[in-house]
Amino acid sequence: MIRNAESRDCRRWRSWRVLRIALALRRSADEVILVNRTRARSDGIATDITYGAALGDLAMVRSAVMSDLADCSVVLLTAGVNEKAGGAMDRRDTEGRLRLLRANAGIFRDLVPRIVEAAPHAIILVVTDPPDPLTDLTRSLAGHDCVFGSGTFLDSLRFQTHLGRKLGVAASAVDAWVVGEHGTSSVFLWSSAQIAGGLVGGRFGNADQLKDQVEREVRQANINIIEGIGASQYGIGIASARIVEAILRDSKIVIPVSSWHSGFGVSLSMPSVIGASGIERTIRPDLSTAEEAALRASAHHIASAAAQLEH
């Protein structure tokens, strides 16, 4: 049986309840295993979802312990503190999600070796913020390269959504990417953003004003959501479920996720082909001179934060 697992710490925000539901409803896997530091919590969630699954055509969800991950194909790491709890809610703060790194790195140092011992052959998907430096840390702790992060997949979906609203079309009709850090230094690829094969840039009279507005809306989307409902949860839950599907179904979809790039010296997001082995290859997009410089700056921003863990 193909299975995937979500490993979770009770300090993580409630958004991953949505991830479990998305995995079950989309039938992203044949079985979803929940592991929590507090067994009663995972027991309750699994039982609750199971009653809905009685309607049929939903994935099996069950609560388990770490050793039960042995045959899992994918493990999702969602443990850690969130932006609200970690003090990363200031829109003017250039550090943003990176403020969560030190606290969440401590959790990962405890958690990752135990996951690898239980499921040495599983692909590990890092969803916890900040996913870029935590992907690097997870690679080091795991001792293998079958590790990547959710990265800027959700940022790109938000970019497409806000552009679609401006253009009066569905978000799915927009081809637009965000690369680099999942954070304040993310890079919007305006030079290649398209709709119906035509570049977006020439469709507006005041392109600079449009770009500033859209980027601000996308960068601050998480804070706006948290202020309203306490946690950014639904979008990332659905996006993570889609990544799991791509792996388990060997879909070969191309999405921007975070992985190690030797040319930058860090993990960051680039368009990547996702299949049965995880990231099968990355595709470097054509960048303008300004976008290339911004991507280098984003890599430096991630590296500077990761250097904190060495002290």
Residue 189 zone, left/alpha/beta (φ > 0; ψ -120 to 50; rest): beta
Catalytic residue among 182, 261, 300, 311: 182
Helix (H, G, I), strand (E, B) or coil at 147: strand
Who contacts 57 (Cβ-Cβ below 8 Å, separation ≥6)?
A: 27
Residue 182 annotated among the catalytic residues of the structure: yes
Helices (H) and strands (E) in the chain, counts: 10, 14
- The C-alpha angle with vertex 121 and arms to 126 and 79, in degrees rounded to 5, equals 25
| 175 burial level (CB within 10 Å; 0-12, 13-18, 19+) | middle
Q: In the chain, where does DSSP find H-type helix?
A: 15-25, 39-53, 83-86, 101-118, 131-142, 153-167, 207-219, 221-229, 234-248, 289-306
* CA-to-CA dists, residue 116 to 3, 7, 42, 110, 264, angstroms: 16, 12, 20, 11, 26
- Give catalytic residues, as residue numbers: 182
